[in-house]
Amino acid sequence: MSSPLSGPSLDEADEARQLHLLYAYAAFHGSGVGTALLNAVIDRSAPAALWVADPNPRAQACYQKHGFVTDGAVRTEDNLRSVRMVRAT
């Protein structure tokens, strides 16, 4: 169905928690499973950071709905462009 993983921040973001992986199969898009997984691995009131592929409008919109905003950091690894999103409390 899907997989979440979070842990300490791996980069210079000030947030103590970083979402490392959250993936939901297409069959579950729009079902609320992404929100449930996000809330299961990161307290919804805690500051956090994550990297998301860009462009990935569906994922970016989901994270924005939960208070994340892009902070201007961009990285490219293995030809994949990602932007950092952060959530403050």
CB pairs under 8 A, 24+ apart, for 18-23?
18/48, 18/49, 18/50, 19/48, 19/49, 19/50, 20/50, 22/50
**What is the model's pLDDT at position 14?**
63
Range of the domain at 77: 2-87
Does pLDDT of 15 surpass 60? no
- The 10s digit of each residue's pLDDT in 27-75 is 999 999 999 999 999 988 889 999 999 999 999 999 999 999 999 999 9
DSSP letter for 89, please.
-
Residue 12 pLDDT level (bands cut at 50, 70, 90): low
| Residue 26 belongs to domain with CATH number | 3.40.630.30
The answer to whether 37 and 1 are in contact (CB under 8 A) is no
pTM given for the model: 0.85
The first and second tokens of residue 70, run together, are: 């892009």
Strands 69-77 and 80-87: antiparallel
Task: Tell me how many domains the chain contains.
Answer: 1
Residue 5 pLDDT level (bands cut at 50, 70, 90): confident
